[in-house]
Amino acid sequence: MNTIRIKCPVCGAILNAKDDPSNVRKSVTCPNCKERRKFTEFKVIVPVDPSPADAGQEPVADETQVAIRRRPESSPGYLLDKATGQCYPIPAGEHFIGRKTSKSPSKADIAIETTDRGMSRLHLKVLCSLAQDGRYHVSVANAENKNPTLVNGERLVDGDVVGIKHGDILTLCETRLEFVGNPVEDRTELNVNKK
């Protein structure tokens, strides 16, 4: 059985998988970000047949494989903990980020595993909405915290709602999280031109 390469829809890691038609009914756990997703959410990296290029022709993609792109309802990105390398997917909608605790359940639906006691259990509100142009708009605001939150070094004041983009750094007390936005082209269906 052949091996194919697939790209994780959450963190973008490239993985090897067996080329099996039953994959469409399976789920895959990414060894990098530990997220479990349906196989159909992974992008199959389509190999290019090198033989036509040798003959001076345009390379042709193998039509037996399908390039799968994520649908708009999947995650617009994730937060990367700069110290631990841990990834935290940010789904579309309104969510709360906070410190994960073992003693009492966190009110946050995105619980950050950290030893930073300055991070509140309900520290930051994140709003991810899909605009008509097919792009996600992601913004953040303080939640129920008294400790500092910085966006690219600028302090977030109560009442502020600040838009964030790929590469922006959120500092929740002592914890630094980088917002990694998924590329726009991965947010829309792949249009296949048939001959």
Cα 8 from Cα 10, distance rounded (Å)? 5
**Average pLDDT of span 55-69:** 38
Assess whether 128 and 154 both reside in one domain.
Answer: yes
- Express each pLDDT in 95-107 by its tens digit: 999 988 877 666 7
Maximum Cα–Cα distance across the chain: 67
pTM for this model (two decimals): 0.56
Assess whether 116 and 160 both reside in one domain.
Answer: yes
In a domain, 160, yes or no: yes
Residue where one domain finishes, among candidates 45, 68, 91 = 68
Over 50: is that where the pLDDT of 138 sits?
A: yes
Assess whether 113 and 164 both reside in one domain.
Answer: yes
Residue that the structure tokens 């939150």 belong to: 149
Number of separate domains in the chain: 2
Residue range of the domain that includes 116: 77-181
- Express each pLDDT in 8-35 by its tens digit: 888 778 888 887 777 778 888 888 778 8
